[in-house]
Chain A
C-alpha cells in the first residue's frame, strides 16, 4: 500500500524520487519496477544520461518491454553510443518483428547520423 501511495503521489507531483521509492518498497509489482523508467521518459525532467542509466537498469530486470527499448535506442542515438544503439535496436526488432525502424538525423543534434 505504501508503495502504491508513493507511485500515485509521484504521478501527481512528477517527483521522480517517489517512483524510485515505490520500486524499492515493493519491487514485486511490475509497474513499480518499470515506473522509474517510464517516469523519466514521460516527464522528461531529468538529464539524458540519468534517463539512460535508469532505463538500462530497468531493462536488465524487465527485458521484454518494447517501448523501453525504443526509448533507450533513441537515447543511445542522441548520446552518440553507436554499439549500444545497435544492441537496443536489435532487441526492439526482435520484440516487434512487424515493424521497421529508421534513424533520422537532424543537423546539429548530438548522436549518430
Chain B
C-alpha cells in the first residue's frame, strides 16, 4: 500500500501541460479498482448508493461532458473510501506519501537554489516541485504531517518542510488541527502551537508583501456564488460551466475561475441541500469517533478546503477519501458507544461490576 501511495504522489510527467494532475488521475483510476479487486474489498451499500445519487445529478447538470469528467474523479474518491474503510490504519500510506513529498521537497530546494528552473515542469507557481503549484503540495504535506505527528513518525517530518514553506492555507490548517490535537493533552502546548502558527502566517504574509489580493478575490468569488445556490443544486461538474453567468464581482474577460476556492461552497452549489446534508453526516461521524491520525488528516483537508480546492487535486482528494473511509471503518470506535440495551453489547449495574456479561 505504501508503494501505491508513493507512486501516486510522485508521479509527474514533465512534458505534459497538465503533467501534475492528469497522470495521477489516470494512475488512481486504474490502480484503485485494481487494488480493490486484489484485496477483495467489499463495496458498502451506502457508498454505492451515494455514487448512484451523485450520478443522477448528471441529468440536470448543464454540461454532460463536464459532469462526466468530475463524476469520474468522484468515483475515484468512492473507490478510495472503500479501500480506506477496509483498513484499520493508513500508516503505510502516509509513509509512502511522505517519502514522495521528500522527493518533491528535493525538487523544490533545487528550484530555490537555481539548480533547477522555477517552472521547468510547466509549473503555475515558482517552487512548484512535482505538483505544478506549491499549494497542492503544501496541502498534501499538511495532511501527511499531522498524521505523522499522531503516529509519532517524527523522522519523516523534516522532508515535508520545504513543501510547507510557501502556502499559507495548509500551514494554518496544520496549526489549527495541531492545536486541537494537543487540546486534550496540554493547554500550554495548544497555545504554543497557535502562537507558532500565527507567527509563521505573519512571516509568510510579510514575505508576500502583505498582499490581500488573493483573499479579496476569494471574497469576490464567494459573493458571486452565494446567490447561485439552489435547493436542488446544479448538478455535478456545473460550477466550472455556470460560474461565468454569476460572475459580477470579478471580470469574466480577465479571469476564468474553475473552482470557488471553498469546497463546501462547491458541494452546496452542485448538490444543494442534499450535499449539505451529506456534509453534516460526515461532520457528525467525525465528531463522534475517537480521534486518530486519519481523522486529523481529514480535518486538515477540510480546513484547507475553506480557502482552496483540495477536492480537485488528485493526491489530496484520494488521501482524504482514504482517511474518511478509515474513520468509517472498524479501526475507529465511537467515543460514546450506543447502549443498545437488552442483551446488547454492554452489561449493566451489578453484572457490569462483577464483569459478567
What is A's interface to B at a CB cutoff of 8 Å?
1, 4-5, 7-8, 11, 27-31, 33, 61-62, 64-67, 70, 92, 94-99
Contact = CB atoms under 8 A, between A and B. Distances in A.
Instruction: Specify which of A33, A92, A96 lies most central, judged by the most chain B CB atoms within 10 Å of its CB.
Output: A96
A64 B69 contact: no
Given A30-B240, A64-B245, A1 B23 contact: yes
Contacts of B252: 64, 66-67, 95-96
Given A1-B22, A29-B69, A64-B244, A96 B251 contact: yes
B199 interface: no
29 contacts: A4-B16, A4-B17, A4-B18, A4-B22, A7-B17, A8-B16, A8-B19, A28-B66, A28-B68, A30-B69, A31-B18, A61-B63, A61-B65, A64-B242, A64-B243, A64-B245, A65-B256, A66-B252, A66-B253, A67-B253, A92-B253, A95-B244, A95-B252, A96-B247, A96-B252, A96-B253, A97-B248, A98-B248, A99-B251
B206 interface: no
Given A65-B244, A95-B245, A11 B65 contact: no
Given A30-B240, A95-B245, A97-B248, A1 B26 contact: yes
Interface in B50-82: 63, 65-66, 68-69, 72
B15 interface: yes
B69 A98 contact: no
A41 to B, nearest CB: 13
Nearest to A99: B253
Given A64-B244, A96-B251, A8 B26 contact: no
A27 B65 contact: yes
Closest 7 CB pairs of A and B: A66-B252, A28-B69, A64-B244, A8-B17, A66-B253, A4-B22, A8-B16
A1 B17 CA distance: 11
Interface of B: 15-19, 22-23, 26, 63, 65-66, 68-69, 72, 240-245, 247-248, 251-253, 256
Contacts of B72: 28
A53 B292 CA distance: 57
A4 B16 CA distance: 7
Contacts of A5: 16
Contacts of B241: 30, 62, 64
Contacts of B26: 1
Nearest to B242: A64
A71 B177 CA distance: 47
B92 to A, nearest CB: 27
A89 B69 CA distance: 30
A16 to B, nearest CB: 16
B16 A30 contact: no
A97 B251 CA distance: 9
A70 to B, nearest CB: 6
A29 B258 CA distance: 12
Nearest to B23: A1
Contact of B244 (A27, A31, A66, A98): A66
Nearest to B21: A4
A5 B18 CA distance: 9
Nearest to B62: A64
Contacts of A31: 18
A1 B66 CA distance: 17
Contacts of A4: 16-18, 22
Contacts of B242: 64
Nearest to B22: A4
B111 to A, nearest CB: 21
A65 to B, nearest CB: 7
Contacts of B18: 4, 31
A64 B245 CA distance: 7
A83 to B, nearest CB: 23
Contacts of A64: 241-245, 252
A51 B65 CA distance: 23
Nearest to A5: B16
